[in-house]
Chains A and B, each alone.
Chain A
Amino acid sequence: MSSLTSQSFIKRLVQEEYKFFTGVPCSLLSGLIYELESQDEVRYIPAVREDAAVGLCTGAYLAGTMPVLLMQNSGLGYSLNAFTSLNLIYKIPMLVIMSWRGKDGKDAPEHIIMGDIDKQLLKTAGMEYSLLSEKNCEEVLKKAKQKIMEEKLPYTLIVEKGLFDERH
């Protein structure tokens, strides 16, 4: 991929056969959601909570469609029980695109703690992740696909502020 944009990234996900998109918005992901909402070949289903989005992705996977969940790291708290008592034990994968609010303690107060512990939470739960960048995009998409297809586990791509455009 030449340069990483919301448009090019969504296009790559579609090429990789991800066909079902849902989530709860974050400003850091607003460009991605805008792209999903504006393309004819994909649909984005607004979820009310992150755990409900995990349920929705689970149903899609069971029905043979590869799902993607977009959420802020604050949603990890809400969805952790769904991951541990559903996806990880039933071997039901999905691609998780999670924004990193609270990075380096520089953010609004409500994001600071989760921004500090989210990676540890993923690791403790046994969920692999990569910090997505323009440089490693192809490599991590390949790794994510491998984990999803072979180990049937959710794989998380972490998105930092500034990686994708924001639509306000």
Chain B
Amino acid sequence: MKGTEAFQELLPLINDEPVVHANGFICRESFALKDREANFYMIGSMGLASSIGLGVAMCKPDKKVIIIDGDGNVLMALGTLAMIAAEAPANLLHIVIDNEVYESTGSQRSLSSKVHLEEVAKSSGYKNALRVEKKEDIKAAYMKLKELPGPNFLLIKVEPCFDPSTGRVTHTPEEITERFMLAIR
């Protein structure tokens, strides 16, 4: 499955949940396919989508909060998996689009071809962690992990396919903050 196909499967499953996006390919692909006010697009600060998502989940315990992360981001902040596991917000679903490369900078390899991030999450203490390799399996895995008390982790293995001509997020950072805060109030 290509990265874009994973987003095409995943995004229609999301309703009004706050979604925190990792920078690079993740932000740009999601924005290009379906922009939403409850999307927080983290365009810089690589590695922090997971801690931002944790903060939102802790302060909005009545909302299911979703993080769409990348393998490079997760590897940069492995310690945050421990923070999420220790804090254990039941309302957090951490999704990782794992293409095994830093795609938006020219597809340099990451370490996730050798390190299974869903196993790292599971052994850190996430309640449930699943790995999906076929796009037909995304929906069932997502629905299951969304319903089960978390924190839960969904790793989706994809092939790199990012088209560099895909636009960047056109909202200004300040606009992203304002509309996200309003949307999840």
Contacts and interface: CB of A to CB of B under 8 A. Distances in A.
Interface residues of A, number: 31
A65 B185 CA distance: 11
A63 B56 contact: yes
Give the dominant DSSP class at A's interface.
Answer: helix
Contacts of B173: 89-91
A58 interface: yes
Contact of A55 (B50, B82, B87, B184): B50
Interface string A136-153: 000000000000000000
B45 A85 contact: yes
Scoring A86, A89, A90 by chain B CB atoms within 10 A of each residue's CB, the highest score goes to: A90
Interface stretch (A25-33, A43-51, A113-121): A43-51
A82 interface: yes
A81 B76 CA distance: 13
Give the dominant DSSP class at B's interface.
Answer: helix
Interface in B112-138: none
A60 B57 CA distance: 8
A109 interface: no
Contact of A64 (B44, B176, B185): B185
A89 B57 CA distance: 23
Scoring B20, B58, B174, B176 by chain A CB atoms within 10 A of each residue's CB, the highest score goes to: B58
Contacts of B57: 59
Contacts of B77: 49, 51-52, 55
Contact of B48 (A48, A54, A91): A54
Contacts of A60: 55-56, 58-59
* A-B CB proximity, top 7 nearest: A59-B55, A85-B44, A55-B51, A48-B79, A63-B59, A55-B48, A86-B45
20 contacts: A20-B55, A45-B87, A47-B83, A48-B79, A48-B82, A48-B83, A56-B54, A58-B51, A59-B53, A59-B59, A62-B177, A63-B60, A64-B59, A65-B59, A67-B55, A85-B44, A89-B173, A89-B174, A90-B173, A90-B174
